[in-house]
Structure 1
Amino acid sequence: MKIGLVDDREIDLDKLRGIVQTIDDVEVVFDTQSADEAYMHIKNESIDLLIADIEMPNLSGYELADIIHSHALNISVIFVTGNSGYAVHAFELNVHDYILKPYPKERLIQSIQRLEQKTKSSEMTGRLYLKQKNDIHIINKQDIIFIERSGRSTTIYTKNETIKTYQTLNELEGELRERDFLRSHRSFIINIHFVKNFSLYAKNSYTVTFEGLEEQAMITKEKVEFLQENYF
């Protein structure tokens, strides 16, 4: 697991570095007191996990997590902060954990180990487990073409079937951390491998058509530019 660390207080950054370096199979790609520098690493997707303070000059840890979330980057986030006031908003961004300072080193180690197990499990199965009332529906992630949220339900379009669930896009996005999937719009997640065409719909949005499917999704102009810069 490749990890990036950012905290504007040197003593706190030293503590993070010292703890993380004791964990097997973990590489610290960068550690910095500058959130702007951390942002440059995030843009390049050179890490699997970002451990960040929240309140920092210029760019906050919350803003870094929001960038990761809104661009559907395959990077998990752990906040290590002295401020409890961001907890609710942090979990809306699907962060892995929220650790309050001061904390024992075991607290951070256990959090990273839980993430490692979750990641390994996801990679081994390659499947999405959907809760449907009294049932759990299992589908291969690679078969998902796109996902749409409408009202209180979510529709998942796959190569072979259409499945409805009450799980939110935020919940599903947390399970689809593969680079293939992009949160293209507040109501859509798309699998870029099935995309056939983008057509201008309005000033700041496009419709998305897919191979072998009549239904369409939406994507913002910002996400189209992100795709061009990072995928194509």
Structure 2
Amino acid sequence: MAYIAAIKILVDEANEANVYDGINEMLRSAQYGGPNGEDRGWIVDWKFESVDPANESVNASIARGSYKEGDAFDDRMIHKDIPVKAFNPFRLVIEAYTVGGIDDRPSWAELTVTEDFLNKLQRMRAVCEDAGLDSVSVSQAPDKWDREEELGIEGDTLKVWPDHFWFEANSDIETRMIDIDFLIQVAKKIAIGDTENPLLPGFMIRNGIVFYGESDLEELVSSYEEVECSECGARTKTVIGCPDGAEICGSCFNNGAH
């Protein structure tokens, strides 16, 4: 009994003629023989239906070395959702909290949302869906936690459900969970220049930075924009730079504390 197999092949080659030549040569080499070492005409015939350029997103992931097997053919990958060449990485600040409600906690975590990061979320949620798992996790930290050194934040984990993701650290610090599809929609809006607030429920953009939280977003923005006084440790929106590189609040400056 014979079979006709329809397959797709992703070829890392800039010259279309070389794609035809290379695949023809590959199939000719495999034409005689068989899956179990037989000496016979195993591949009888073939023809090309089409040879089309890969999406720019796929080309970019190959160049970066971040391409994962199956990405070009997976409808869950982000290049299926965002126009070619239009993806713009952006900073995302997520509200943070402590599981036990302890007051001494970071207010936020910051990360850069890239195409690779969104594809990673899609792969992780696919593992949940395909294997029937509640969640999967990998060791990955945000770019920065609020008061990271002061609170000794470590042991970061990225956790993904089939529909949400969040970060954990120190066993009791977490970011708010974010709907993955919502984040992809936000990325699409930014890609096409649709940045009118609110982007989506819980999301706001300010000065090119996207904020997400479940409480007062203005309070989250205010907390993110605050800096720490080098002298007294107070957090303030404005600091005064000193010749030695220190940054101090107005009160310390007026009191001659530095």
TM-score (normalizing by structure 2) = 0.26
Larger radius of gyration: 2
Larger strand proportion of the pair? 1
TM-score (structure 1 length as normaliser): 0.27
Between Structure 1 and Structure 2, the one with more helix by share is: 1
